[in-house]
Amino acid sequence: MKLENKIAIVTGAGSGIGRAIAELFAQEGAEVVSVGRTREKLDVAKQEAGSAGERIHPRALDVSDRAAAGTLVTSTVAEFGRVDILVNNAGVNVPKRALSELSTEDFDKIVRVNLNGAFYVIHGVLPVMRKQGGGLIINVSSVAGVRASELGGVAYSASKFGLSGLSKTIGVEEAKNGIRSCLIYPGEVNTPILDARPVVPDAEQRAKMLQPEDLAQAALLVATLHPRATIPEMVVTPTLQRFE
């Protein structure tokens, strides 16, 4: 098993990319703390992971709650003694996302989850990783964090550009402590967040997109590199999606 004896936290693990990453990491031997807002979804994901589910440990909380994010880290260390890998995957969007219709409340909500929430968990794990002499932080961004996107909308794009800056700065400041940081920029992925689009894609369109397991494989590649090597940024798109 490629991740045997590793301890991982995966946020947004109730569905989509986070669920796929949590399951694959557990299959590869990691003890995975799976995080999401809905305990029922986390429990279903654990059950449907088969024997790997024995290594998946659900925690229901909202990462945009600063105190809850801090408790997540302390409880993980209390139970397992360390945190080797953090995957920040929790993300939200809203249907009314164009500048002409986005509300200030929705802007705050999106940034609070997609950017602030990631920082809160990172802020908790960094002292732990420094003390143990290393660790890996994988931040799941979006191609909307590489270039402005009407499709993603202004708040989503702003939050993902912010996440990119956060992740890159971690790589600059924390490399001396053995801490690596990777940004994964997915193109279109068939996940439940598509249901929040102004025009929801149909089954035929979804079949041509990346699937969650594709991103899980990308995360596993990053997680299994030797600590001397890192991938600061990785763009993964569907074959039929142009990226220029």
DSSP summary character for residue 34 = E
How far is it, in rounded angstroms, from Cα 156 to Cα 150? 10
How far is it, in rounded angstroms, from Cα 137 to Cα 9? 10
The residues assigned a catalytic role are 156
Chain centroid offset of residue 87 CA: 5
How far is it, in rounded angstroms, from Cα 95 to Cα 152? 10
For the packed helices 16-27 and 39-48, what is the interaxial angle rounded to 10 degrees?
40
For the packed helices 104-111 and 154-174, what is the interaxial angle rounded to 10 degrees?
30
How far is it, in rounded angstroms, from Cα 108 to Cα 20? 28
- Hey, what are 166's tokens? 């956060």
